[in-house]
Amino acid sequence: MAILKFRISWEDDDAIYRDVMVKHTQNFTDLHHIILKAFEFDEKHDATFFRSNEKWQRGREISKALYEKNYVVPPLMMDEVSIGSEILNTNQQFVYLYDFAKSWTFLIQLIQVIKNADADMELNYPTISRIEGVGPMQYGTKGLLGPNFTDIEEKYDLTEAQDGFGEEGEEGLASDDDSEEEDADASDDEAGDDDAGGMFDDSSEAY
């Protein structure tokens, strides 16, 4: 037995990927489940794999079910095909399509084959071994308040920026009030020294 490590990249941004490991004896249904888990997608929609080459051209399908569409050749069924049987070279590639209405597309590439003697058999396969990038949100658009906000906050230090913005906004408001009072007293030549609002005219610098 061998452990196969695949890199699953989101087609729209290859910097967003997940590494997963499966037994070569497990089937494509197992791979299907671990991909959805890795990207935090539900399992409510249709899905299919395609055999692929180095140019990511789609070949024969390995499908979750037989769908009502025109096939060049009948698809293989996920739960009937072992992953190992489809590994033809050391860089084997597949394309995974989920939710045909939204066409979530992921690119799969074999990146390592771990022999039984070197495999950690205490792990429960399939398993996720690496997560890179903030993944897409299955429903709607991912915003800063999404489930991965903490990752973005740490990367760009948004907490500090938000605190700074609040302080500047308060000072800006205070300076406006001071300016009105100072304008009313034209004889007060110290008005310019007390007005600090000009430092924060471009509030966009707080981000």
Q: What is the CATH number of the domain that holds 21?
A: 3.10.290.30
Task: Please tell me the total count of domains within the chain.
Answer: 2
Residues 53 and 118 in one domain: yes
Report yes or no on 6 lying in a domain.
Answer: yes
AA letter at 40: E
Query: How far lies 168's CA from each of 78, 159, 194, 201, 207, in Å?
Result: 57, 14, 15, 9, 12
Instruction: Give the model's confidence band at 121: pLDDT under 50 very low, under 70 low, under 90 confident, else very high.
Output: confident
- Rounded to an integer, the average pLDDT of 24-51 is 97
Report yes or no on 124 lying in a domain.
Answer: yes
Q: What is the pLDDT of residues 58-73, one digit of tens each?
A: 999 999 999 999 999 9
- On whether the CB atoms of residues 153 and 159 are closer than 8 A, the answer is yes
Q: Which range of residues forms the domain containing residue 50?
A: 2-137
Structure tokens of 75? 């698809």
Residues 168 and 107 in one domain: no
| Interatomic CA distance for residues 23 and 83, integer angstroms | 8
pTM > 0.85? no
Query: How far lies 131's CA from each of 62, 73, 104, 127, 195, in Å?
Result: 25, 35, 18, 12, 49
**DSSP-assigned letters across all residues of 16-75:** EEEEEEEETTSBHHHHHHHHHHHTT--S-S-EEEEEE-TT--EEEEEESS--SS--SSPP
- On whether the CB atoms of residues 111 and 19 are closer than 8 A, the answer is yes
Residues 177 and 92 in one domain: no
Report yes or no on 149 lying in a domain.
Answer: no
Confidence (pLDDT) at 176: 52
- On whether the CB atoms of residues 87 and 24 are closer than 8 A, the answer is yes
Q: What is the pLDDT of residues 10-21, one digit of tens each?
A: 999 999 999 999
